Copies of this chain bind each other. A is one copy, B any other.
């Protein structure tokens, strides 16, 4: 299990290869890559900066992964989240979950993303033709995370 917060880009293939190396129990790997879009709430986005709360970020994502491990059979999990300045088409976040079976891998991967969106202390500020603005949290993200409470 591993959580990394970094300014640098990440290499999905290398991360998946490292996770798989030497673990023949892995039968299913679900992954998710979040990418900066060139439009948000109807406005063109030329750039964004991602701020975070060092220490709490790692701790909260670690707690999210622990919750996922309590619900599904997870062999390994990795979250990489970038901070700093990003532009459209840049990668923001990578979640990789390795399991024996695909149902566990899909569920745990989506669960981690949904919780990360609502609980991990990151904030986006984006630059549009109207100037810089802090991105508002979305009700749809709270709903997505809420689905898992049952």
> A: which residues have CB within 8 A of B?
11-14, 16, 20, 24-39, 88-89, 100, 102-103, 105-106, 109-110, 113, 144
**Copies of this chain held together in the complex:** 2
Are A32 and B37 CB-contacts (below 8 A) given A13-B13, A110-B106, A113-B102? no
Measured CB to CB, the closest approach of chain B to A101, in angstroms, equals: 8
Q: Which of B12, B26, B89 contacts A37 (CB 8 A)?
A: B26
Instruction: Describe A's contact surface by its main secondary structure.
Output: mixed
Of the A-B pairs whose beta carbons lie under 8 Å apart in the complex, a sample of 25, sorted by A's number, is A11-B13, A12-B12, A12-B13, A12-B16, A13-B14, A24-B88, A24-B89, A25-B38, A25-B39, A26-B37, A27-B34, A27-B37, A28-B32, A28-B33, A29-B32, A30-B30, A30-B31, A30-B32, A30-B109, A31-B31, A31-B33, A32-B105, A34-B102, A106-B106, A106-B109
